[in-house]
């Protein structure tokens, strides 16, 4: 082992590595240094000098190019390598293990054999970067140390922006074997991008806490401690009785300077980032949260310290804070955008006219350019991204690095739903919320994003793509997590996409500010609510006051009735869809899931019998209907 490391590492890098007293770590690095056979190995300690070196290498290697604004760079992935490769993202399972039909797997022996063949000499002619990170704040119960090996300076640079340095944490932990390991190689390059994308592989070994990725550059496949190692954390959390969630974490500011922290899970294109970045509130994180029980309360941290965000649709009106950050000097990596002659960037949905020419992921670009299949190439890829450190945002919450995390006041689930859920609603209790809000989450596809509009996609807790345990077990974990909590945080649903009979949206884009303020007040029991068959809804007078205070806007009662009318046929249809999924497609569904859904069905049928198919919320204000939840 030492011979391999001494041969490939210069003295200063070898000493950096040996300063971590962890033979298991050393053996892992030595094994893959020998297999991948890089010309050089650089060990990053997280020091300013080491980070500067990685940043410089990303420019020298051509993986990033400087833009006109100071600190801004651009990276291009291959034309067909710009999204998570779900088909070839698989869990390595030993014989006899089974994660259920919803999770992509491959036999461990077969998968390791394949990935080792692909990685043999994959880094010859290149430099390997060995980077240490910490998921969650350092020196904390939440801390998860990680090591990443990659031959991509872009990936190393992105990870440095996204994650807290873990080198000192790894030294502190010494011989602990609880770290996550991630190995990535771009594979053979052609024109600066991965050539053999037909051999893209992202394999996850949950037994050994290791992720392997090769023949890809796209961040979602290669920046291992984001989506990929999140899957490792879900498995770890399940064993240790905490939760890894695909959630933002934000501070909602209430009366008299109070800050209440909310988590929120939304599928893609459903308002997750725009909610976490609402002006006047503060952001702790936009993507992944770890949740733990401490002294009978729920506390949470942001796994990351940066953002790997989607650019499409970001504009000055709807995203003023992010817009300002993206147009000021600072260390930001743009990927798969259009670069103009002036070395500025353009993305789909940005303010202003589309440039007449530029350079993008397809090469030189002009409007109307088509690919080999005759498809028109847009100025930027719809999955164009930006990577930055949260410290660049003016609305960053001061609690980001609190090792104790923040106290969670409420949990929000939201999806794209044109006809069922009301704009905001509170569940009756923890179990009702987990089952009817989180475990029943669906989202409709959009024509712009996925080709066919209005297809409902089942996505429990907005986390289906990242589960490393069976769905039934995941639901049990949530139900069990809430049992010992004293006064668990309320669970809410939101829906920004409800439409009227003509197909027009019933929500204005900024209505979400009012829904947040109402949820903050409810979490402290400072406003009442109307008990309906599906949950607690806001009272009209409370929303009327909040619309005036927060948005300086009148809120007509007819608007309230239209938005908060319970659509009983649609709610009943949803219950039947969800029950069918849990009966036929989910293994070992807890029986309580069906019981709670049946109770909701009985309440809805009772209301239907009394009031009809569509019921305004005021009908329930003084209703004697049994609403036991």
* Active-site residue set: 270
Pairing of strands 530-532, 406-414: unpaired
Q: Using CA atoms, how far apart are residues 381 and 311, in angstroms rounded to an integer?
A: 9
Element (H, E) at 290: strand 289-294
DSSP track, 86-119: GGGEEEEE-TT----TTS-EEEHHHHHHHHHHHH
Backbone angles phi, psi at 210, to 5 degrees: -130, 140
CA-based R_g, the chain, Å: 25
- Let me know: does 534 contact 425? Beta carbons within 8 Å: yes
Two tokens, residue 223: 């920046």
Closest Cα partner for 208 from 181, 228, 186, 187? 181
Q: Using CA atoms, how far apart are residues 393 and 388, in angstroms rounded to an integer?
A: 9
DSSP track, 110-137: HHHHHHHHHHTTTTTTSEEEEEEEEESS
Q: Which residues contact 433 (CB under 8 A, 6 or more apart)?
A: 411, 426, 427, 490, 491, 492
Compute CA 320 distance to the chain's CA centroid, rounded to the nearest angstrom. Answer: 21
Two tokens, residue 85: 């490769």
Q: Using CA atoms, how far apart are residues 510 and 293, in angstroms rounded to an integer?
A: 33
- Let me know: does 84 contact 227? Beta carbons within 8 Å: yes
Please name every residue paired with 185 in a beta bridge, in sequence order, or none if there are none: 214
- Tell me the three state secondary structure of residue 600: helix
Return the exposure string of 514-551: e unless at least 16 CB atoms fall within 10 Å of the residue's CB, then b: bbbbbbbbbbeeebebbbbbbbbbbbbebbbbbbeebe
Q: Phi/psi class of residue 625: alpha, beta or left (left: φ > 0; alpha: ψ in -120 to 50)?
A: beta
Give me the sheet containing 345-346, strands edge to edge: 345-346, 338-339, 358-360, 363-365
Closest Cα partner for 529 from 422, 613, 455, 434? 422
Element (H, E) at 251: strand 248-253
Half-sphere exposure of 533 (CA within 13 A, CB side): 30
Closest Cα partner for 518 from 483, 556, 560, 570? 560
Q: Using CA atoms, how far apart are residues 146 and 225, in angstroms rounded to an integer?
A: 8
Q: Which residues contact 364 (CB under 8 A, 6 or more apart)?
A: 357
Backbone angles phi, psi at 606, to 5 degrees: -65, -45
Q: Using CA atoms, how far apart are residues 106 and 89, in angstroms rounded to an integer?
A: 10
């Amino acid at each position: 082992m030492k011979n391999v490391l001494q041969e490939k590492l210069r003295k200063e890098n070898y000493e950096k590595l040996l300063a971590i007293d962890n033979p298991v770590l050393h053996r892992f690095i030595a094994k893959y240094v020998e297999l991948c056979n890089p010309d050089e190995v650089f060990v990053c300690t997280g020091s300013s000098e080491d980070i500067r070196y990685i940043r410089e290498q990303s420019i020298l290697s051509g993986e990033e190019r400087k833009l006109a604004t100071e600190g801004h760079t651009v990276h291009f992935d291959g034309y067909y390598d710009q999204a998570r490769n779900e088909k070839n993202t698989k869990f390595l399972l030993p014989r006899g293990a089974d994660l259920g039909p919803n999770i992509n797997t491959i036999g461990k022996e077969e998968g390791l054999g394949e990935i080792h063949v692909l990685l043999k000499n994959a880094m010859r002619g290149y430099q390997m970067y060995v980077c240490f990170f910490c998921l969650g704040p350092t020196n904390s119960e939440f801390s998860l140390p990680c090591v990443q090996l990659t031959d991509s300076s872009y990936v190393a640079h992105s990870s440095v922006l996204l994650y807290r340095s873990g080198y000192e944490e790894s030294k502190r932990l010494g011989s602990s074997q609880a770290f996550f390991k991630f190995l990535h190689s771009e594979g053979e390059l052609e024109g600066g991008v991965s050539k053999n994308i037909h051999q893209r592989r992202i394999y996850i070994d949950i037994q050994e806490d290791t992720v392997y990725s090769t023949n890809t550059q796209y961040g979602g496949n290669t920046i291992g401690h984001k989506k990929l190692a999140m899957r490792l954390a879900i498995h770890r959390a399940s064993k240790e009785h905490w939760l890894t969630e695909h959630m933002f974490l934000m501070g909602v500011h209430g009366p008299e300077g109070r800050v209440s922290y909310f988590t929120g899970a939304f599928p893609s294109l459903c308002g997750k980032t725009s909610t976490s970045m609402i002006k006047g509130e503060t952001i702790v994180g936009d993507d992944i949260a770890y949740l733990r029980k401490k002294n009978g309360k729920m506390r949470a941290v942001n796994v990351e310290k940066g953002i790997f965000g989607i650019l499409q649709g970001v504009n000055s009106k709807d995203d003023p804070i992010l817009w300002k950050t993206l147009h000021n000097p600072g260390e930001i990596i743009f990927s798969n955008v259009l670069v103009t002659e002036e070395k500025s960037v353009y993305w789909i949905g940005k303010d202003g006219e589309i440039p007449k020419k530029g350079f993008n992921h397809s090469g030189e670009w002009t409007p109307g350019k088509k690919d080999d299949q005759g498809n028109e190439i847009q100025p930027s890829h719809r999955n164009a991204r930006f990577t930055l450190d949260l410290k660049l945002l003016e609305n960053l919450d001061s609690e980001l690095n609190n090792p104790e995390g923040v106290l969670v006041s409420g949990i929000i689930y939201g999806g794209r739903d044109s006809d069922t859920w009301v704009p905001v609603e509170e569940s009756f209790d923890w179990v009702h919320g987990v089952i009817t809000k989180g475990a029943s989450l669906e989202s409709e596809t959009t024509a712009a994003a996925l080709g066919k509009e209005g297809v409902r996609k089942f996505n429990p807790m907005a986390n289906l793509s990242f589960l490393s345990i069976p769905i039934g077990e995941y639901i049990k974990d949530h139900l069990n997590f809430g049992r010992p909590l004293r006064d668990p945080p309320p669970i809410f649903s939101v829906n920004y996409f409800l439409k009227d009979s003509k197909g027009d949206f019933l929500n204005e884009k900024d209505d979400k500010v009012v829904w947040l303020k109402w949820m903050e007040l409810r979490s402290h029991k400072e406003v009442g609510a109307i008990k309906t068959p599906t949950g607690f809804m806001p009272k009209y007078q409370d929303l009327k006051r909040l619309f005036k205070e927060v948005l300086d806007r009148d809120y007509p009662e007819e608007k309230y009735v239209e938005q908060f009318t319970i659509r009983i046929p649609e709610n009943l249809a949803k219950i039947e869809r969800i029950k069918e999924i849990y009966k036929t497609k989910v293994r070992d569904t807890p029986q309580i899931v069906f019981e709670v859904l049946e109770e909701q069905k009985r309440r809805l049928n009772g209301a239907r019998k009394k009031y009809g198919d569509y019921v305004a919320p005021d009908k329930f204000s003084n209703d004697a209907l049994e609403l036991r939840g």
